[in-house]
Amino acid sequence: MANDRFEPGEIITDEEIRLECLRLATEFGVENERRDPLPIAQNYFNWVTENSKRQPEKTVRKKDKVKS
C-alpha cells in the first residue's frame, strides 16, 4: 500500500505521485482500462493535485487542536 512506501511528513514529488497513480490504475482498474492506463492515471493525478490544494482552513484548525 501507499502507506508503506512513504514516510509521514515526507515530501513526495510529482513524479512519485504520477507513478503511484499509474500503479493504482493498472492494479485496480478494470481489464479494459488496463490496456491503456495513462488516461485513468492522469485523471487520478489531476484529482489528487486538485484536492490536495483545497484543504479548508476550518479543517486545518481542527486537526491542529487534535494534535495539541
What is the distance between the alpha carbons of residues 54 and 32, in angstroms, rounded to a whole number? 32
18: Cβ contacts below 8 Å, ≥ 6 apart = 41, 45
- Out of 29-33, 44-48, 58-62, which region has the weakest mean confidence (pLDDT)? 58-62
29: Cβ contacts below 8 Å, ≥ 6 apart = 37, 40
Map grid coordinates 493525478 to a residue.
Answer: 45
What is the distance between the alpha carbons of residues 14 and 45, in angstroms, rounded to a whole number? 9
Domain count, the chain: 1
Mean pLDDT of the chain: 80
Model-wide pTM > 0.75 = no
Q: What percent of the chain has pLDDT over 70?
A: 71
Rounded mean pLDDT, 29-57: 85
Residues of the domain holding 51? 2-67
